[in-house]
Chain A
Amino acid sequence: MSAGTAKLVEMRDVKFQFADKVILKGIDFSVQAQEVLVIMGLSGGGKSTLLSILMGLLKPSAGSVLFKNQDMTKLSRSKLNEARTHIGMVYQNAALISSMTVRENIGFPLDQLSDKTDKEIGAVIDQKLELVGLKDAGDKLPSELSGGMQKRVGLARALALDPELVLFDEPTAGLDPINTETIDDLIIQLREKQKVTSIIVTHEMESAFAVATRMAFLYEGKITLEGTPEQFRHSDIPIVSKFLSSYSKHESAKE
């Protein structure tokens, strides 16, 4: 298998339950390097749980999660932490450290996990701030930023260690169209220029179709459909077509 088509992430029959509630009933999918996989589904369907399992923040009840051919569920803590440095995550609420400035937030993983000097860390921070278009916001606290700006800082922090895989949890939820487009452009730019692989969980169909190279639909704890955006548009699976048509109707009503 060539490097370009190697599987970066693979989930095999992943099950997860919280107390008596079964959330994931056996998830199978794989993501190849430089792909952008968009996972869609109903609210409360377990999409964010899936990302937490991928990061090793939650342990699945069964199944395996492979990242670069290592099973994340069986790694020792030090190996898991090492693997996590190759994965960036952009949280739904940005999850920035509220007591740190924007610069400190972006430099935090570098300060803790790399051997870079303060000067080198400063240069990386400048570069990431420029990438997300927030050069002048470095000394602000997260509470002084808008929701869109917080998400862009979250993305800059996720990219600080130049990860191979970036996970996005609802990256454009609640944002205005201009901020949404900025985030979408950044995701596309990451794939095209920095060869980053992304897994995105979202409800925003417009964003999903704009950035996805592949899509998956999570319903009742299982992947109901996995395919290209085109296959999605023409799907005759009832829940998928209902999901897409509800969105179309909603958009038409807005117009």
Chain B
Amino acid sequence: MIAKLGTLTVSILQGLSSVVWMVRETVSEIAERIASHRTPFRWEDFFYQCNRVGVGSVPMVVLLSVFVGLTMALLTGYQLQSFGLVTLVPAVVSVSFTREMGPLFTGIVLASRIGAAYTAELGAMTSGGEVDAIEGMGIGALRYLVTPRLLAILCLTPCLTVIAVLSGILGGAFISSLMLQISFGYFYDQVMTNLLVKDLMAGIVKSFLFGGIIGVIACYKGLAVRGGAVGVGIATTSSVVSAITTVIICDSFCNVFIVIFFP
């Protein structure tokens, strides 16, 4: 038991140090490239990744958020009805979606949709010798492959989070007017009254963090693939599981931090 725990700890620490090494090397390759007056990555690669991460994920994020918002408003409303507090539904839905559900669900969608794609893509390139070939040409595989992917997910996660929040609140407003007799106008007023700037900031900061976590884990797992097609499959599964787990754990720590320091 203790031996297993030791092995697990060692492997987690090794993974963490490799991730830190990858990020450090990527940043230093970018810096060297900029110092030699060259663009660190191809803009068309960056925009291609942005399109994939952002535009491609919008339908799924909207669909998921609308239904979660709808369910949340409905269940909260029925519980609060018995205490005569149904008017609190807009505040509960908007604040919890902005601070918690929006960033978290966006993170989960991106981890499963984009994180898996990044890992599979880079994994196939690694096992096919393409990554070594890029490195061998003196191009800098980390800079060329990781930078546009990481930047795209970092920039687009907050944008998708905003879309998720709006969709969730709209879903909540729709079901509230249909089943809880709360008009759209009253719902809107309550949202504007109860939603604070700190709630918005908490959601946006979290989403940046989640985007970074998903991108770094996905790229690392892809570049560390061993063992051909089977290895790519294993790495992809592991990437999604690790990214979702880390995002949820990180979310909890963020909430504790926000509650303590920004009550």
Contact = CB atoms under 8 A, between A and B. Distances in A.
Nearest to B144: A112
B263 to A, nearest CB: 47
B129 A85 contact: no
Given A77-B29, A93-B128, A113 B139 contact: yes
Given A84-B137, A109-B137, A112-B144, A98 B130 contact: yes
B138 A89 contact: no
A6 interface: no
Interface in B140-158: 140, 144
B189 interface: no
B136 interface: yes
Contacts of B32: 77-78
Interface in B3-39: 28-29, 32, 36
B20 to A, nearest CB: 17
Interface in B116-142: 124-125, 128-130, 132-140
A83 B128 CA distance: 24
A57 B131 CA distance: 11
Nearest to A80: B138
Nearest to A52: B132
Given A93-B129, A97-B130, A112-B144, A85 B137 contact: yes
Interface in A80-95: 80-85, 87, 89, 91, 93, 95
The size bracket of the interface on A is 20 to 34
B137 A95 contact: no
Bin the interface of chain B by size.
10 to 19
Contacts, number: 56
Interface string B182-196: 000000000000000
Contact of A112 (B28, B128, B133, B139): B139
B interface: dominant SS: helix
B36, B134, B137, most chain A CB atoms within 10 A? B137
Contacts of B137: 84-85, 108-109, 112-113
A81 B29 CA distance: 11
B132 A95 contact: yes
B138 A84 contact: yes
A96 B132 CA distance: 11
A91 B133 contact: yes
With most chain B CB atoms within 10 A of its CB, the pick from A52, A82, A84, A112 is A112
Interface string B99-128: 000000000000000000000000011001
A98 B136 CA distance: 17
Given A77-B29, A77-B32, A78-B32, A57 B139 contact: no
A89 B129 contact: no
Given A95-B129, A96-B133, 18 more contacts: A52-B132, A55-B136, A77-B28, A77-B29, A78-B36, A81-B140, A83-B138, A84-B136, A84-B137, A85-B137, A89-B136, A97-B130, A98-B124, A98-B125, A98-B130, A108-B139, A109-B138, A112-B139
23 contacts: A57-B132, A57-B136, A77-B140, A80-B138, A81-B138, A81-B140, A82-B138, A84-B137, A87-B136, A89-B133, A93-B128, A95-B129, A95-B132, A95-B133, A97-B133, A97-B134, A98-B124, A98-B128, A109-B137, A109-B138, A109-B139, A112-B144, A113-B137
5 closest cross-chain pairs (CB), A and B: A84-B138, A81-B138, A95-B129, A95-B133, A85-B138
Interface of B: 28-29, 32, 36, 124-125, 128-130, 132-140, 144
Interface of A: 52, 55, 57, 77-78, 80-85, 87, 89, 91, 93, 95-98, 108-109, 112-113
